[in-house]
Amino acid sequence: MVRKRQSCNVRRLEMTIKQQGGIFGRNPTFNDVDVEGSLTVGGSAIPAPADTLTSSDIGVTVQGYDADTAKRDTAQTFTAKQDFVFAGGGNYVAQFQNTTAATPYAVSIKDAASSSNGYPLLIISNSAGSDIYFRVDSGTSDITAGKNIRFLSSGLGIDFSATSDAAGSTSELFDDYEEGTFTPTITSGAGSFSSITYDNARSGRYTKVGNLVHFQIKMRTDAISVGTASGAVVINGLPFTSANEQTSCSVYSQDMGGESPITGQVQNSDTVLVVYYYSGTSYSILDVTDLATGGNSNYMFITGTYTAA
């Protein structure tokens, strides 16, 4: 008789457990639960802790999942503007790197559909958004730089190799532009002047585009003492050494003591030019004896272009 009573009690207990939602109740709460093996909820396996993005990862790292993980290629759609603020220091707030050279990846920012007018795909600006540093637009494919574009090393530049080439083209890389000043001086083919002074009109300016140097020289002497100087009048101090070729330039002159020069020649592989005058039948080198020794004389304005080495 005791056994029958125990059997009845077990059945009543089993029915009570089912009615109350199982041995844990209808709304159980668990703390610090350890699961050996895999945990399945509703037929789907829950990823291991090492494969799960935690709150401490936010703003610190971007986790990727391999092909064996269910979270691979999970899309995230934002319905409102998201602000990501990184309070910590460091050189990077995000870093994307290929671990296998044979499998290239890229960060893609694109429109849902193409647009002829174009939309801003990427904007880098100050905190107020009023000063745009860099912008990429879709549709028009325009790239706008709000600041200077700076190359990290010599030899880099803007590559125009996608354009058609003329016969004999050797380079389509725009890798140099420079503006500046230099100080020209009058020297001689042999010996040296005992003294030579200039007034405030002396100046030299240049613009270098690629390997072409455009220059202007303006100079006038106050007084000259010839000393041991002899031979050709030479203008020294060009900003760049010339290529292994001679190049002519134009000379305007006035208040010269002897012949008035009308042309000059940049010497090859050097930073000097030699001054010439026209005698009526041929060109001759201007000699130091043709210079006036008095004040406010020997005014020359020289313009030219030569190829830098």
* Six-digit token string for 303: 């313009």
- Say yes or no: 261 and 221 in one domain: yes
Clarify whether residues 228 and 298 are in a common domain: yes
| Confidence category of residue 71, pLDDT binned at 50, 70, 90 | very low
- Show the tokens assigned to 129: 């958004």
Query: What is the tens place of the pLDDT at every residue in 72-94?
Result: 445 677 788 888 777 777 777 77
Whether 181 and 267 map to the same domain: the answer is: yes
Domain that holds residue 219: 177-307
Lowest-confidence segment of 53-57, 136-140, 156-160 by average pLDDT: 53-57
Quote the pLDDT of residue 48. 61
- Percentage, residues of the chain above pLDDT 70: 75
pLDDT at 176 over 70: yes
Residue 57 CA, distance from chain mean position: 32
Query: Regarding predicted confidence, which is higher, 70 or 288?
Result: 288
Q: What distance in Å separates the CA atoms of residue 63 and residue 69, rounded to the nearest whole number?
A: 12
**44 within domain boundaries:** no
Residue 250 falls inside a structural domain: yes
Q: To the nearest whole number, what is the mean pLDDT of the chain?
A: 83
pLDDT exceeds cutoff 70 at 5: no
Range in 33-37, 52-56, 77-81 with the lowest mean pLDDT: 52-56
Mean pLDDT of 227-238: 98
Long-range contacts for 108-116 (Cβ within 8 Å, ≥24 apart)? 109/136, 110/138, 111/138, 111/139, 114/138, 114/139, 115/139
Residues forming beta bridges with residue 188, ordered by sequence position: 233
Q: Is there a domain that residue 262 lies in? A: yes
Non-local (6+) Cβ contacts of 275 within 8 A are 232, 233, 234, 235, 251, 261, 263, 264, 285, 286, 300
Task: Count up the domains in the chain and report the number.
Answer: 2
What is the dihedral angle through the alpha carbons of 192, 287, 296, 278, rounded to the nearest 10 degrees? -160
Residues 120 and 217 in one domain: no
Which residue type is seen at 239?
A: P
Neighbouring-strand partners of residue 122:
136
* Residue-level pLDDT at 70: 42
What pairs with residue 277 in β-bridges?
261, 284
| Span 98-137, pLDDT tens digits | 877 777 777 888 777 766 667 888 999 988 888 999 999 8
**Closest to 248 measured CA to CA, from 270, 220, 276, 271:** 276
Task: Please report the pLDDT score of residue 54 as a whole number.
Answer: 60
- State the SS3 of the chain: CHHHHHHHHHHHHHHHHHHCCCCCCCCCCCCCCCCCCCCEECCEECCCHHHCCCHHHCCCCCCCCCCCCCCCCCCCCCCCCCCCCCCCCCCCCCCCCCCCCCCCCCCCCCCCCCCCCCCEEEEEECCCCCCEEEEEECCCCCEEECCCCCCCCCCCCEECCCCCCCCCCCCCEECCEEEEEECCEEEEEECCCCEEEECCCCEEEEEEECCEEEEEEEEEEEEEECCCCEEEEEEECCCCCECCCCEEEEEEEECCCCCCEEEEEECCCCCEEEEEEECCCCEEECEHHHCCCCCCEEEEEEEEEEEEC
186 plus 282 within the same structural domain: yes
Task: Measure the CA–CA gap between 203 and 299, rounded to whole angstroms.
Answer: 12
182 and 142 share one domain: no
Residue 302 has pLDDT above 90, yes or no: yes
* pLDDT above 90 coverage of the chain, percent: 54
Q: Determine if residue 20 is left, alpha or beta; phi over 0 gives left, psi from -120 to 50 gives alpha, anything else beta.
A: alpha
Query: What was the pLDDT predicted at 67?
Result: 44
In a domain, 19, yes or no: no
201 with 111, same domain: the answer is no
Torsions phi, psi for 172 (to 5 deg): -125, 25
Tell me whether residue 26 is in a domain: no
